[in-house]
Structure 1
Amino acid sequence: MNKIVKIAFIILLFLALVLVRAFENVLFYDPFIAYFKDGYLSDPIPVFSGSKLLLSLCFRYGLNMLISLVIIYVAFQNKGFLIFSLKFYLIAFFVLTITFLIILKGELAHGYLFAFYVRRFLIHPLFVLLLLPAFYYKQLTVKEII
């Protein structure tokens, strides 16, 4: 793939991630958006439907994961990186989702910050920002060895 086309495609994919965030209120059920925005200090946790929240988290995480995996594949065109990323995303999803649901079940008894950050990793594509430089560094070090 031509370098300019590759960069343009990656930029479009990052714009897709931005669009997911821009239309979050329309696309996803998340009563915690308003709560973590300004009500977390004084308001009780919002009433929420656990099944709707879980389904929405799955959909949002899956959408962000799919776009992120395409970014990683286009950037490196390495199936090993793609398979590792997919496994990483799936394991992180299960660990973070279970953790988030346990925290919500306890009604944020130990404060809101832990729930806030766990939720942030679930709804935002932060892992792609960690994996891209890691794979770039890995690619550089392998070239130096050979």
Structure 2
Amino acid sequence: MKKLLPVAGLFLLLIVIRMYEEVLFYDPLIDFFKSEYATKALPAFDLLKLLGFTVLRFLLNTLISLLIIWVLFQKKEIIKLSGVLYLVLFVVLMLAFYVSLQISEAGNYMLLFYIRRFLIQPLFLLILVPAFYFQLKK
């Protein structure tokens, strides 16, 4: 029960980041993917700015996610493993995001959409927490 309040507060931070994403981060793809984007060309964007704000958002979500994992499990080994997994995920997804921004064509944006989704949303947390919980109960 002592863990519930800090975890809820950290989840609230993730929700605030999501609620105010359009104000906090430069991302012209937010509106693009909300529209009928299938036949449209990608909107004009500043590549370095987009990549920089995507990195910032990933880092914020990762820091909060690691804090949630720490509060839940309080084991250094789990935090180290999570940190390594987040680093590998970051490198692979950022490279894939950059390449998909360069090669995406109208009507073929699903790969870009999902790569971006993993970078800007804390989806990895939803995978790690049950996995660590299951492993510790085993």
Q: Partners in 2 of 1:128 and 1:94 — Cα distance?
A: 17
Partner of 1:107: 104
Q: Percent identity?
A: 44
Residue 41 (structure 1) aligned to one of 38, 45, 48: 38
TM-score by structure 2 length? 0.96
Residue 23 (structure 2) aligned to one of 3, 21, 26: 26
Tell which structure's C-alpha radius of gyration is larger. 1
SS of corresponding position for 1:34: helix
Deviation track 1:17-67 (CA, whole Å, cap 9, x = no partner) reads 000100101110000001111141232101111110111011000000000
Q: Which runs of 5+ in 1 are unaligned?
A: 142-146
Alignment of 1:63-78 (within 5 A): 63-78=60-75
Residue pair 2:41, 2:106 contacting (<8 A) in 1 also = no
Residue 117 (structure 1) aligned to one of 111, 114, 119: 114
Residue pair 1:108, 1:115 contacting (<8 A) in 2 also = no
The size of the alignment, in residue pairs, is 138
Residue pair 2:37, 2:107 contacting (<8 A) in 1 also = no
Q: Partners in 1 of 2:17 and 2:105 — Cα distance?
A: 27
Residue pair 2:57, 2:120 contacting (<8 A) in 1 also = yes
With over 3 angstroms needed to count, the CA separation of the structure-2 counterparts of 1:81 and 1:69, relative to structure 1, is same
Q: Work out whether 1:80 is the aligned partner of 2:77.
A: yes
Q: Partners in 1 of 2:36 and 2:25 — Cα distance?
A: 19
Which stretch of structure 1 is more off in the superposition, 68-77 or 109-118? 109-118
SS of corresponding position for 1:5: coil
Q: Which has the higher contact order (CA 8 A, sep 6+)?
A: 2
TM-score by structure 1 length? 0.91
Displacement of 1:113 in angstroms is 0.6
SS of corresponding position for 2:3: helix
